[in-house]
Amino acid sequence: MVTNRKIYILEPYFRNSDIMVEQLVVLERKVKKSFQLAREDITSLGNSISKLYEQIEKLSAEQQTLADQLKAVKDMKQQKAQKTTYFLGSKETKKFHMPECVFAKNIKKGSKILFPTKNKAISKGYAPCVCLKR
């Protein structure tokens, strides 16, 4: 609000124009209200930004956890593949399996065939079992 001193200073310019003084008072109120609203908006945006930073930190932590889990799964698959030095095929089904596969254990003795690599089995026309597709 305009103080009496401010009005007194402005008075010579407006030559006792009450309308001009009232307009200045209204203008001052509007400017104060505008700054108040701007301050509230800035505060609100600051709070929103803080919440976004918190979410980013949580997502980063989750991403790291998932990356670690994925690496562990890849390592397990690699170790599993390294342990398998041969593959068992079935002459009846024309499929080949890892030795520890449930289906490989059910292959009849006369129908078993050994392959040193996956590529060798595939080149002989054998299809991989689901145990090899996981």
> Residues of 29-52 as b/e, b for ≥16 C-beta within 10 angstroms?
eeeeeeeeeeeeeeeeeeeeeeee
What's the pLDDT tens digit per position in 104-114? 889 998 999 99
Query: Is the pLDDT assigned to residue 43 strictly greater than 90?
Result: yes
What are the pLDDT digits (tens) for 56-85? Answer: 999 999 999 999 999 998 888 777 766 657
What proportion of the chain, given as a percentage, has pLDDT over 70? 82
Overall average pLDDT of the 78-103 stretch: 84
User: Higher-confidence residue: 72 or 11?
Assistant: 72
> What global pTM score does this model have?
0.41
- Examine the pLDDT at 133 and tell me if it is beyond 80: no
Spatial neighbors of 39 by CB under 8 A, at least 6 apart, are none
Higher pLDDT, 123 or 1: 123
Average pLDDT over residues 7-20: 58
Average pLDDT (98-122) is 90
Q: How confident is the model at residue 9 (pLDDT cuts 50, 70, 90)?
A: low
